[in-house]
Amino acid sequence: MFINFQEFFNVLPIIIIATGIVLSLLIEMYSKKSEKILPWFSVLIFLAAGLHSLYYTKDVSIILQGMLATGGNVNVFHAIFTLGAAVVTLLSIDYIKKYGTYFGEYYIILQSSVLGMMLMASAKDLFVIFLGLELMSVSFYILAGMNRKKAGANEASLKYFLLGAFATGFIVYGIALIYGSAHTTSIDFITSNFAELTKSLIFIAGVLLFLIGFSFKIAAFPFHMWVPDVYEGSPTTVAALFSTGGKAAAFSAILATLFALFNGPNGNIFTPYLAVISVLSMFYGSIVAIAQTNIKRMLAYSSISHAGYLAIGLAAGNHDAVAGVIFYLAAYTFMNLGAFGIISLLEGKDETNLDINSYTGLGNRKPLLAGLFAILMFSLAGLPPFGGFFGKYYIFIAAIKADLTWLAILGVLSSAISVYFYLRIVVLMYFKPSENDFAIETNNNAMIAIVFSVLLVILLGIFPGTLIDLVTRFI
């Protein structure tokens, strides 16, 4: 197989990460200082891949005989994954020391999960999606159980694996049915022949199974059962990656495969399904989150409700929806990473201080940390002028343009409910006197990562135009 230089250049972000994985393995094997080198090497390759993706968004091409797409929004997704992973890595450096032993494979598996995400976003063939999905998921199962001496971590890993494998089964079965009716797995072929294909019931069933499988991956109700337990049991920094990169990758795959179908001339035949899971996820997530006292579980339910808002975009299925979903994912990725980052700082050894009452009086104890956390909570609640607000705004535009005003109304009602539990954290941090005396050790690496995330959330809120203009150019 022959690759010319331009193709090689366009696919460079993926190559950087893939080569990085191999080099990391070698570093881990042969270097005694790998504990010092490996994290920074990971950050380096993530940043290199991310910046390359952002800088060369204009180079839209399809390479490797129609297997991978590069440029355009694929690159925007790549940037979200890699910059997000860089943040996760920075957060992890001191966090995984809390487990007492050093795991070099942690960074390597992290890299391979990111490679999986990138393959999903670039895929132009259903098998590439499957390949990427499995690479990401298997890495995730291992990461979830990283702290293998803990029963909770083993439970999380096993639960994630069983349910994840079950969901993957749906996806494979869906792909098989799609292949059966379309006689190809090329997404471009399927996309251009939707009108023809949707006449076949087998094809519709295939797409529906595919969607159901991905509903697991995006953590939408009623396929959400694994989310709270997995987030709670996994290392905090890993949960941060699940809730952001994993979700974004699943959405990128859905958009790449099915957008043309959603935006077809006869309207979106999957709107009823997507609207139902969207409404259920939003309300279930927001309402159940109110009852949580463990902050990681609270964010898990919040993640379910955010999957609901994003699914509004899928139900709308127009061009604004794509831009809205991508923007929302970018903003959500960084606000959630920041929030999990702060949680990982407060978390003590043996997973203590995860109760929301540990945050009481944080405003007095650590003003900067509390201020950053408050901004992230306001952004998650969808308040201007932060990134989370604009994401919702754009999704609502898409919904109203698609005549789904009722869905937008339910969306705002659910976000009014969610304000309560996000604000409760702010209440505890600022309005209650401190009763906690556990030590909070901050470290520079994590603080850089958190401040970077918060700055991005603020910038996306005040100047959303930069990302919007970039994204809409390629739709």
Partner 1 sequence: MEQNSLLTYLILVPLIGSFLVLFIKKEKANLIRYAALGISTIAFLLSLVIYFQFDSANSDFQFINKIEWIKGLNIHYHVGVDGMSLLLVLLTTFLTPLTLISSWSSIENKVKEFTFFFLMLEVGMLGVFISLDLFLFYIFWEAMLIPMYFIIGIWGGKERVYAAIKFFIYTMFGSLLMLVAIVWLAVYAIGPLGYFTTNLIELYSVAPQIPMNIQIWMFLAFALSFAIKVPLFPLHTWLPDAHVQAPTAGSVILAGVLLKMGTYGLLRFNLPLFPEASIISAPYISVLAVIGIIYGALVAMVQTDVKKLVAYSSVSHLGFVVLGIFAMTQESIQGAVIQMINHGLSTGALFLLVGVIYERTHTREIADYGGIAKLVPIFSFALMFASLSSVGLPGLNGFIGEFLILLGSFQSPVLHSWWFTVFAASGVIFAAVYLLWMYQRVVFGEVKNPKLDGLKDMNTREIFVLAPIFILIVWIGIYPTTFLKVSDKSTAKVVKQIYHPVKVSPVELGLNQSSK
Interface pattern 398-427 for partner 1 (x via CB under 8 A): --xx---x--xx--xx-xx--xx--x--xx
Residue 458 engages partner 1 in binding (rule: CB under 8 A): no
Alpha-carbon span 87 to 104, nearest angstrom: 18
> Rule CB under 8 A: which of 255-294 touch partner 1?
none
Provide the minimum distance between the beta carbon of 370 and partner 1 in the complex, in angstroms, as a whole number: 11
Provide the minimum distance between the beta carbon of 30 and partner 1 in the complex, in angstroms, as a whole number: 49
Complex with partner 1: residue 19 or 466, whichever CB lies closer: 466
Stretch that binds partner 1, among 61-69, 185-193, 392-400, 448-456 (CB under 8 A): 392-400
Question: Is the Cα dihedral 198, 199, 200, 204 positive or negative?
Answer: positive
What would the two tokens of residue 385 be?
């002028």
Complex with partner 1: residue 138 or 312, whichever CB lies closer: 312
Complex with partner 1: residue 150 or 401, whichever CB lies closer: 401
Provide the minimum distance between the beta carbon of 435 and partner 1 in the complex, in angstroms, as a whole number: 15
Neighbouring-strand partners of residue 186: 125
Q: Are 6 and 61 in contact (CB under 8 A)?
A: yes
Candidates 154, 432, 442, 459: give the one binding partner 1 (CB under 8 A): 432
Q: What is the bridge-based pairing of β-strands 61-63 and 68-70?
A: antiparallel
Residue 378 engages partner 1 in binding (rule: CB under 8 A): yes
Complex with partner 1: residue 216 or 396, whichever CB lies closer: 396
Alpha-carbon span 207 to 226, nearest angstrom: 23
Is-cis flag, bond preceding 385, omega within 30? Answer: yes
- Between helix 444-462 and helix 367-380 the angle, nearest 10°, is 40
Stretch that binds partner 1, among 123-131, 207-215, 308-316, 467-475 (CB under 8 A): 467-475
Complex with partner 1: residue 323 or 450, whichever CB lies closer: 323
Complex with partner 1: residue 127 or 463, whichever CB lies closer: 463
- Give backbone dihedrals phi and psi of 68, rounded to 5 degrees, phi first: -125, 145
Alpha-carbon span 242 to 296, nearest angstrom: 12
Alpha-carbon span 31 to 24, nearest angstrom: 10
Alpha-carbon span 106 to 390, nearest angstrom: 34
Candidates 173, 179, 393, 474: give the one binding partner 1 (CB under 8 A): 393
Provide the minimum distance between the beta carbon of 466 and partner 1 in the complex, in angstroms, as a whole number: 9
Complex with partner 1: residue 210 or 378, whichever CB lies closer: 378
Provide the minimum distance between the beta carbon of 430 and partner 1 in the complex, in angstroms, as a whole number: 6
Neighbouring-strand partners of residue 123: 68
Provide the minimum distance between the beta carbon of 117 and partner 1 in the complex, in angstroms, as a whole number: 26
Candidates 260, 430, 436, 442: give the one binding partner 1 (CB under 8 A): 430
Number of residues that bind partner 1 (CB under 8 A): 32
- Between helix 201-217 and helix 271-290 the angle, nearest 10°, is 20
Q: Are 257 and 126 in contact (CB under 8 A)?
A: yes
Q: Which amino acid is at 111?
A: Q
Interface pattern 323-352 for partner 1 (x via CB under 8 A): x-----------------------------
Question: Is the Cα dihedral 324, 330, 335, 336 positive or negative?
Answer: positive
Provide the minimum distance between the beta carbon of 384 and partner 1 in the complex, in angstroms, as a whole number: 4
Q: Which amino acid is at 392?
A: K
Complex with partner 1: residue 88 or 375, whichever CB lies closer: 375
For 421, half-sphere exposure in the C-beta direction (CA atoms, 13 angstrom radius) is 26
DSSP-H helix ranges across 96-246 = 104-122, 126-144, 151-182, 187-192, 194-197, 201-217, 226-233, 236-241
CA 171 to each of CA 131, 144, 308, 357: distance values in angstroms, whole numbers, following the listed order? 12, 22, 20, 41
Provide the minimum distance between the beta carbon of 210 and partner 1 in the complex, in angstroms, as a whole number: 30
Complex with partner 1: residue 372 or 408, whichever CB lies closer: 408
> Rule CB under 8 A: which of 124-163 touch partner 1?
none
Complex with partner 1: residue 162 or 412, whichever CB lies closer: 412
Residues that bind partner 1 (CB under 8 A): 323, 378, 383-385, 389, 393-394, 396-397, 400-401, 405, 408-409, 412-413, 415-416, 419-420, 423, 426-427, 430-432, 464-465, 468-469, 472
